[in-house]
Structure 1
Amino acid sequence: MKAWILAAIAIALSSAAARAVDPRYPDWPCTQAKVPEISLSAVWAGPALDDVQNKWKDDAKVSALVAKLSARKTPLDEAEKSVKEFLAASASDKSANAKLLFAGLFDTLNAQRSQVMNGLERVSRKQREAADKIREETLALQALQGATPRDETKVEALSNDLIWKTRIFEDRHKVVRFVCEVPTTIDQRLFALGRVIQQEME
């Protein structure tokens, strides 16, 4: 009976997760709307970046700083301080370095978002497959429980298997809910750092 209850919970969770917010993205498991890429105009009101695209990779200092600022383990206040220190030391090259730095952040954080979102969709597909398997095994368990004579060894083995699969399903569901916040966190980080860079350019 315990396995049946757990299976029912898992199937209910799966059904809730399977309802896509936007039919264009059927594998998207989050309640937050899927925005595939950050729009440059949404996070940058500074000068055009056309002349520095990809050039940031050729500057060792900028590349190293982009890597540090893009890492989620770097606290935002520390990242903002690093931006200010870097641009304060740039002297006559401040505007050019500011543009290079933001171009690098924009490219890097957009790529991070894409990786996270692709991962979420992969997990969403696995969850659907797992829910289907749990449904199948639940029906098989019901059949075994109602059989005459009843094979207790098989009933117990399938019950235990269902409990284990349901636990994995629920754990994965919790992780997905947590990871769904990451794209928004990346958006906020890019917006905050872009604002600091623009303020330092003025």
Structure 2
Amino acid sequence: MGAAFAVALSNQPARAGDPRYPDWPCAQAKVPEISVAAVWAGPPLGDAANQWKDDPKINALVTKVAARRLPLEDAEKEIAGFLSAAAANKATAGKLLFAGLFDTLNAQRASVMNGLERVMRKQREAAEKIRSDTVALQALQDATPPDQAKVDELGNQLVWETRIFEDRRRVVKFVCEVPTTIDQRLFALSRAIQQELD
């Protein structure tokens, strides 16, 4: 394992598309938060943004339909059923439901994005460690006579460090899709609510 490899490795996580967000590892542009106006064209929310947590039924439904493991189609059916049953209170229930989904999904999205940036910082540290260990390994190999036990130990350590680095990089690539998935879910659920209110 040569120093050139370690240098190449260490440069990989350092590319940030936007200088305002140097720790953002994704190809997608970082949009720190979604605005209500970007996903809601329904009636003005008024106090709904603060009141949705006070309604146990809304709270339970928000938790259920915000969960990405629930297929979107099923979430939309849950919303339609809930708002149909709300009858005369449909507009209020719809606003509360949207406010809850907006808060919940925006918080999930922020959590994922913060996690991605934390991993990016760890990747930089890991790359630096790989680079310094590679230099140390070369020095051990160049010594006369080389201490084979130390060479083997450091060589094995480098293999593990590199494997962890690569595994994390693959995970980051996958997790980079999650904020977009959350955006799409919020937009679709918002549209489902608005269709019921029209």
User: What does 1:45-84 align with in structure 2 at a 5 Å threshold?
Assistant: 45-84=41-80
Question: What's the counterpart of residue 126 of structure 1?
Answer: 122
* Structure 2 letter corresponding to 1:113: R
Structure 1: distance between partners of 2:45 and 2:9: 45
Structure 1 residues 29 and 83, CA gap change in structure 2 (3 angstroms): same
Among 142, 150, 158, the alignment partner of 1:162 is 158
Question: What's the counterpart of residue 197 of structure 1?
Answer: 193
Structure 2: distance between partners of 1:58 and 1:186: 24
Q: What displacement does 1:50 show?
A: 2.1
Among 167, 172, 179, the alignment partner of 2:168 is 172
TM-score (norm: length of structure 2): 0.96
Structure 1: distance between partners of 2:4 and 2:143: 21
* Structure 1 letter corresponding to 2:56: A
* Structure 2 letter corresponding to 1:136: S
Question: What's the counterpart of residue 101 of structure 1?
Answer: 97
Structure 1 residues 8 and 74, CA gap change in structure 2 (3 angstroms): farther
Number of residue pairs the alignment of both structures matches? 198
Among 33, 39, 46, the alignment partner of 1:43 is 39
Q: Residue 171 of structure 2 aligns to a residue in which SS?
A: helix
Q: What displacement does 1:14 show?
A: 4.0
* Structure 2 letter corresponding to 1:119: G
Q: What displacement does 1:73 show?
A: 1.1
Q: Residue 53 of structure 1 aligns to a residue in which SS?
A: helix
TM-score (norm: length of structure 1): 0.94
Structure 1: distance between partners of 2:78 and 2:156: 53
Cα deviation code 1:101-134 (max 9, x no counterpart): 0000000100001100111111100000000000
Q: What displacement does 1:25 show?
A: 0.6
Structure 1: distance between partners of 2:10 and 2:82: 48
Question: What's the counterpart of residue 83 of structure 2?
Answer: 87
Q: Residue 93 of structure 2 aligns to a residue in which SS?
A: helix
Structure 1 residues 185 and 108, CA gap change in structure 2 (3 angstroms): same
Identity of aligned residues (%): 69
Structure 1 residues 109 and 147, CA gap change in structure 2 (3 angstroms): same
Structure 1 residues 63 and 34, CA gap change in structure 2 (3 angstroms): same
Contact 1:10 1:169 in 2 (8 A): no
Q: Residue 21 of structure 1 aligns to a residue in which SS?
A: coil
Structure 1 residues 194 and 19, CA gap change in structure 2 (3 angstroms): same
Q: What displacement does 1:150 show?
A: 1.0
Unpaired stretches in structure 2, ≥5 consecutive residues: none
Among 99, 110, 113, the alignment partner of 2:109 is 113
- Is 1:149 aligned to residue 153 of structure 2? no
